[in-house]
Amino acid sequence: MKIEKLKQIDSTQTFLSNRIRNGLSDEVLFWTEKQTAGIGSRGNEWIGKEGNLFFSFSISANRLPSDLETQSVSIYFAYLFKSHLESLQSNIFLKWPNDFYLKNKVGGVVANLIKETFVIGIGINRFSVENFGKLDLEISNNEILQIFVPKLENLPNWKSVFEKYKKEFEKSRTFETTFENKKISLEEASLNPDGSILLNGKRLYR
C-alpha cells in the first residue's frame, strides 16, 4: 500500500473517496497534519490542531475476512489500529463503537464503502485541546503509519478480533452513547456478535 502525505487538505476521507469515484483502484493511504473539514462519527465535523494525525486508506472489499460484515468494518479497523498503538506502548483503549480514549477522547474512526472499496478514516490528537486528550506516544506520525501499513497485508478474521474486543467493550460501560439525540448509558448494554449493541430493547450500531 502506497503512503502519501498531503501538506493540507479539507478531509482525507473526502479526498480519497472522490479519487475512488474517479477511477482510483490501487490501495493507498493519504495522510496530513493539517485538515480543515474533517469528518467524524455520525457525520460530525472533526477539526484538530495542526500537527495531529489524520489519514484515510482504501482497501478492497474482497480482501477483507469472509466473516467480517459491512456494519462491523469500522470497529474492526479501529481495534486493529488500537492494537497497533498498544504495541508502540500506548495505554489507549477503544470506547464503543470506534472512539480512541485515554482519560478523554483522543480520536476515532469512520468507514465508508465506495463502489467495491472501503475507505477507512482515522484521526488522532497529538496535541491536547479543550475536552479532548492526546496520544501518549513520542513517535512521529510518519513512523506510526510506516509501522502500521505492513500489518494490513495479513488481516485477521473478525472472530479473533471480536473475541478481544469483547473484553475491551467492558471499559465502555461507564460511558454514554447518543441515540435519537439522547444520551444513553452503556452500563446495561449487551454486545452482539457483529459489534452492535442491544440497549433498552433497541439494536444500535453507532
Domains in the chain: ranges and CATH: 2-166 (3.30.930.10)
Confidence of residue 40 (pLDDT cuts 50, 70, 90): low
Q: Does pLDDT of 180 surpass 90?
A: no
Sign, Cα dihedral of 84, 109, 160, 116: negative
Q: Does pLDDT of 45 surpass 60?
A: no
Q: Does pLDDT of 48 surpass 80?
A: no
Q: Does pLDDT of 23 surpass 90?
A: yes
pTM of the predicted protein model? 0.92
Q: Does pLDDT of 46 surpass 90?
A: no
Inter-CA distances, 159 with 30, 67, 155, 172, Å? 29, 7, 12, 20
> How many Å apart are CA 101 and CA 180, to the nearest integer?
23
Task: Tell me the pLDDT of the chain averaged across its residues.
Answer: 92
Q: What is 23-70 written as a DSSP string?
A: T--S-EEEEES-BSSEE-GGG-EE---TTSEEEEEEEEGGGS-TT--G
Q: Tell which phi-psi region holds residue 51, choosing left (phi > 0), alpha (psi between -120 and 50) or beta.
A: left
Residue 44: per-residue pLDDT: 53
Confidence of residue 13 (pLDDT cuts 50, 70, 90): very high
Residue 154: per-residue pLDDT: 96
Q: Does pLDDT of 47 surpass 60?
A: no
Strands of the sheet containing 197-199, edge to edge, are 190-191, 197-199, 202-204
**Which helix (H) or strand (E) covers residue 180, if one does?**
none
> How many Å apart are CA 185 and CA 173, to the nearest integer?
7
Q: Does pLDDT of 82 surpass 60?
A: yes
Helix (H, G, I), strand (E, B) or coil at 113: strand
Residue 74 CA from chain centroid, whole number: 6
Average pLDDT rounded to a whole number, residues 5-22: 95
Pick 83 or 180 by higher pLDDT: 83
The tens digit of pLDDT for each residue in 116-138 reads 999 999 999 998 777 889 999 99
Please report, in angstroms and rounded to a whole number, the separation of the first and last CA atoms in the chain. 29
